[in-house]
Structure 1
Amino acid sequence: MRTALFISALAFLGLCFTLPAALSPAPKESGIQWITFAELAKKQKSKPRKVFIDVYTDWCGWCKKMEASTFKNPVIVKYMNENYYSVRFNAESKDPIEFNGKKYTNTGGTHQLASFLLSNKLSYPTTVYLNDDLSLIQAVPGYLDAKTFEMVVKYFGEEANKTIPWPDYQQTFVGEVK
């Protein structure tokens, strides 16, 4: 009898400690804080900053690899969330998008906004970097591993592109990604 009572008391105490943790919401997944173009428009009005756009397609294997590895690297996540507004944009999306005061649609296979951002040089993935006034800094086509991506986003994010040629920056850059 005492053993059964003791086991029941232990089970009750165990529930008291584990139930609150089980009922609490799961922690928010840490990663790049992706926003929509509509959210971007609002944020740019209140607190302008540089913009990063990941232009991808659903069928692109290198896009998926970049999403699974490069965009999950903790160094990349931290830097992007602190220095850029980040938008993931499916170049084949059917949704109309308003960007910088103009409406873009998909009139065929490729969205007009993708064609505009990539200057009609459609290649996926392409990472697009914009100034805080939404003017184009650079579109960089192709897969970028975390080390290379860090170098590129910091080159534009820290405005080194205004004073240092890219080859010189590449030679002197010391990144945090291991």
Structure 2
Amino acid sequence: MRKILLGIACLVGLSTMAQNREIEFKVRPWKTQLAAAKKENKLIFFDAYTTWCGPCKVMARDVFTRDKIADLFNDKFVNVKYDMEKGEGIALKDKYEVSAYPTYLFINGDGEVVHKIVGSMTANEFINEANKALNPESTMYGLAKNFEASGHSEASAIAYLDAIKKAYESEKMSVVSKIYFDALEKSTLLDEHNWKLALKYLNNPSSKAFAYLYNNMSKLKKTYKVSEVNNYFQQVFVSSVSRIKRSYNKKSGVKEAKENSKAIRKLLKEGNDYSKVLLAKLDLIEFSAKNQWDKFGVKLDAMCNDVEFSNKSYVLIEAANDIATANQEKQYENALRCADLIEKNTPGLFTQIQLAELRKRVLIRQGKKAEAEAMSQKEKKLRKEAMDKRAMSPPMYRD
């Protein structure tokens, strides 16, 4: 028995020793990383993480430490990692438009992203994505070329859209899905095959295909699950409004943003359960983009005073934070009134954190240091409570 136990112990020891390598990350300035990649003729593997990102920690602990992962990445890539909230990471986050964590970028020596993936995954999935990055034909760039060269065939479209989806590139998906679906015969869009593809990829409200599907919603509901149909259209409209706001903020893709805004207003003119709040949010987005803060304030006041306006809290909080971000001094009291109104409705912990942060941001700008510090402490206490309860908490604004 003792020999058997010793044998088992040895096997366990060997198994543990077999997994003793990990990805080796180079710590040096970004310019030096690029120069090294160019000199070694390798791609950079860029781990974009934050200290609070749980999936980032899981990947670092359970995937980066696998021998087969370490051997591949240490041999084929220049491996780097940056905290997106510290040092050079802050500028690199903006440069490469990192908005979710973990994000993994594969970048050439010229600083160009050739492949991108977002989120945690298994070791085998991670290796599969790394091999795609090493094969020019299976990178995002290569798939884009194939999509064009094939005349936008279904196979090339699905391969490209899959890669875009994994990269969380919703703006790019909007453009590519519109090209592909608008070229299909309208009569085929209601077929199960194309409907399933639309559910997965078509996220552009200015697409003729999307308008056709929306205007034939009653037919879709007779054939497919009503909840599936309703959720799809609501999700596209909600995500599109958010995308419009990002475009205006970045001053990029503004033409498409205007097209989408016009299409949303046209499609939602008859109204539904969520149209009122989305159209109001569009008004606020466009007022701020045009620097029409007086009109912004009037709209915000009207929303606050409209007792029949339901499900508006998240829009009011976002709009009030926009006032703080844009340093619109005349509208600070308006922002605080929004917070007071929402507080009267006994909000949950998530919203309480948002309100504390909002008040803190406005009070700082008003120069009320003591009150701002008190609100900051309240926010910290609420975030700790959420952490202790393992409840979701809102992301922090970076001031």
TM bucket normalised to smaller: 0.5 to 0.7
- How far did 1:115 drift? 2.2
More helix by share: 2
Q: Deviations over 1:64-103 (max 9, x none)?
A: 000001111111111101111010111111x2x3xxxxxx
- 1:129 is aligned to 106
Equivalent of 1:74 in 67, 70, 76: 67
Equivalent of 2:116 in 127, 139, 144: 139
Give the CA RMSD over aligned residues.
2.5
Task: Give 1:132's aligned amino acid.
Answer: G
1:34 aligns with 2:11: no
Instruction: List aligned pairs for 1:11-160, cutoff 5 A.
Output: 30-38=21-29, 39-93=32-86, 95=87, 97=88, 111-117=90-96, 119=97, 121-160=98-137
Paired residues of 2:21 and 2:66 also in contact (CA < 8 A): no
Paired residues of 1:51 and 1:131 also in contact (CA < 8 A): yes
Q: Deviations over 1:13-68 (max 9, x none)?
A: xxxxxxxxxxxxxxxx7321201342414423532311110001001110000000
- How far did 1:144 drift? 1.9
Count of matched residue positions in the alignment of Structure 1 and Structure 2 = 125
Percent identical among aligned pairs is 21
- Structure 1 runs of 4+ with >3 Å offset: 163-168
Q: Deviations over 1:126-175 (max 9, x none)?
A: 0011123321113311112211111100001132413775849x9xxxxx
- Unaligned residue ranges in structure 2 (runs of 5+): 1-19, 147-155, 163-399
Task: Give 1:63's aligned amino acid.
Answer: C
Give the Cα separation in 1 of the matches to 2:106 and 2:40: 17
- 1:23 is aligned to none
Q: Helix, strand or coil for the counterpart of 1:113?
A: helix
Q: Helix, strand or coil for the counterpart of 1:87?
A: strand
Give the Cα separation in 2 of the matches to 1:30 and 1:116: 31
Give the Cα separation in 2 of the matches to 1:167 and 1:66: 25
Could you tell me the TM-score, scaled by structure 2's length?
Answer: 0.29
Give the Cα separation in 1 of the matches to 2:85 and 2:28: 15
- Provide closer, same or farther for how the CA distance between residues 45 and 151 of structure 1 changes in structure 2, counting only shifts above 3 A: closer
More strand by share: 1
> Which 10-residue stretch deviates more, 158-167 or 60-69?
158-167
> Which 10-residue stretch deviates more, 159-168 or 149-158?
159-168
| Higher-RCO chain (CA-CA 8 Å, sequence separation at least 6) | 1
- Unaligned residue ranges in structure 1 (runs of 5+): 1-28, 98-104, 106-110, 171-178
Task: Give 1:32's aligned amino acid.
Answer: I
Give the Cα separation in 1 of the matches to 2:77 and 2:109: 9
Paired residues of 2:38 and 2:110 also in contact (CA < 8 A): no
Give the Cα separation in 1 of the matches to 2:71 and 2:127: 11
Give the Cα separation in 2 of the matches to 1:158 and 1:139: 13
